[in-house]
Amino acid sequence: MIAVLLVGGEGTRLRPLTYHFPKQILPVAGLPMIERVLKQFAAYPADNRLSNPDDVVGGREIPQNTDVTFQECVLSLGYKPERFVQTYPDGLIDGLRVSYAVEPEPLGTGGAVRFAAEHVGVTETFVVMNGDVLADISVYDLVRVHFYNRRHGALATIGLVEVDDPSRYGVVDMDASGQVRQFVEKPSPDEAPSNLINGGIYVLEPQVLDLIPVNQMVSIEREVFPELVAAGSLYATRMEGYWLDTGTPQSYIQANMDYLERYMKLSDPPVAGANQIAEGVWAVGHPIVRGSVLPPSLVMNGSLIEYGAVVSHSVIGENCIIGSGCRVDRSVVMGGVRMMQDSALEDSVLAAMVEVGEGAQIVQGSVVGEGYVVTSGSVLSDVRLPINDQ
């Protein structure tokens, strides 16, 4: 089976981090996001063998022995495609073969699906996933539900997840058979028909491609799905398991925190070659830790945590200097950052090579872009710097 991963968006909500890199190249607990996303597919076909023994998914009997093996994953690229090619020049990401479909201009989520599917000559059922969704759900079960739905005329099955606040997402209303009745994009609280949202993972039949105009900007959520709803051929099923859309600074920080916490419970390190230097504190290579690093945290090679500095629940990239008396909490610090003494970082992100002056405080979801210099003593709360710098 072929998987299309949509990774061509500009990631405007994550600016300035995305001025120089596509969202999926940004690190999540030390690994480019795309490697975390692709784990979802690399897990197969091993999971085939672990399939639901009673063969019932979402209350429905599902065909057994469905072959769901992802031999190939197509990365649907548009924004800064060279970053992917430079990072993975041999077309292998964590052992999975990937190919690159580079759009000449942005085609939106629908146009991109058609472009990528045609690029690899899709002729059978295929899977599409938003490349900024970190999930731990069974794509295998989703495919099996789709094969069941297909007998009832489904051309597409959307994986749904339940969230507390559906207003940022596409909300789905379906009947007992799973047929979608209504698809409401970003509803106000009183308009939301349920808390089940489009999780950005779809199983599609190749006929869906015919509904997408060629080489045009088309949104799969806003244009293609409503057409399928009208034809009665869009189905959905609820998926269980971890799910996070990493599109905003807050959710990007959350993704890093979630993965640090997850690895506290596992025997594997969050990145290959990391060793635990204390319980829940991983180090890659040989950082120098003179101050304190509290779990769960990850400190990369060549970094120095000075006397009196306290790092907790955070990721420190390569070759950083965290000066004496500094505090870093629930934050992501990329490579080459220098924090001068007594500066503080909380719930925030520093891109590579940022310099933070003495005593500066950066808090509450602030994002500081590559190479920016934060002057001594300044207080940044819920801000992004620089702005309009592309």
| Interacting residues with ligand GTP (CB under 6 A) | 6-13, 23, 76-78, 103, 106-109, 112, 130-132, 247
Q: What is the DSSP string of 144-158?
A: HHHHHHHTTT-SEEE
Cα 306 from Cα 323, distance rounded (Å): 5
SS3 assignment, position 227 = helix
Nearest distance in Å: CB 342, ligand GTP: 34
**Residue whose CB is less far from ligand GTP, 207 or 215:** 215
Name which of 22 and 335 has its Cβ closer to ligand GTP.
22
Shortest distance, position 6 Cβ to ligand GTP, whole Å: 4
- Say whether 311 sits in a helix, a strand or coil: strand
Instruction: Residue 293: name the closest of 274, 316, 275 by CA.
Output: 316
- CB of residue 298 to ligand GTP, shortest distance in Å: 24
- In 3D space, the residue among 188, 201, 195 whose CA is nearest the CA of residue 171 turns out to be 195
Taking the complex as a whole, the smallest distance from the CB of residue 193 to ligand GTP amounts, in Å, to 21
Q: Between 148 and 202, whose beta carbon lies closer to ligand GTP?
A: 202
Cis amide linkage into residue 270, ω under 30° from 0? no
Nearer to ligand GTP, 10 or 118 (CB): 10
Q: Please, where are the H alpha helices in 138-294?
A: 139-150, 225-230, 249-264
User: Rounded to the nearest 10 degrees, what angle do helices 33-42 and 249-264 cross at?
Assistant: 60
Residue 14 or 289 having the CB closest to ligand GTP: 14
Contact 154, 142 (CB under 8 A): no
Residue closer to ligand GTP, measured from CB, 20 or 60? 20
Spatial distance between the Cα atoms of 31 and 272, rounded to a whole number of angstroms: 9
CB 371 within 8 A of CB 387: no
Residues 277/289, Cβ–Cβ less than 8 Å: yes
State whether residue 15 is helix, strand or coil: coil
- Please, which residue, 21 or 148, has the CB nearer to ligand GTP? 21
The minimum distance between CB 18 and ligand GTP, in angstroms, equals 8
Shortest spacing between CB 91 and ligand GTP, in angstroms = 17
Residue 173 · residue 133 · CB < 8 Å: no
Nearest distance from C-beta of residue 78 to ligand GTP, angstroms: 4
CB of 36 to ligand GTP, least distance (A): 13
The CA distance from 79 to 102, in Å, is: 9
Q: Please answer whether residues 127 and 4 qualify as being in contact, where contact means their C-beta atoms are separated by less than 8 angstroms.
A: yes
In the complex, least distance from residue 139 CB atom to ligand GTP, rounded to whole angstroms: 16
Considering the complex, state which of residue 170 and residue 296 has its C-beta at the smaller distance from ligand GTP: 170
In the DSSP assignment, the letter for residue 317 is: -
User: Which amino acid would we find at residue 324?
Assistant: S
Residue number with CB closer to ligand GTP (1 or 25): 25
DSSP-based three-state secondary structure for 230: helix
DSSP assignment letter at 140: H
Q: Based on CB atoms, which residue is closest to ligand GTP, 132 or 258?
A: 132
Any residues with CB less than 8 A from the CB of 111 and at least 6 apart, and which? 103, 212, 213, 215, 216, 217, 218
Least distance (Å) from ligand GTP to the CB of residue 63? 30
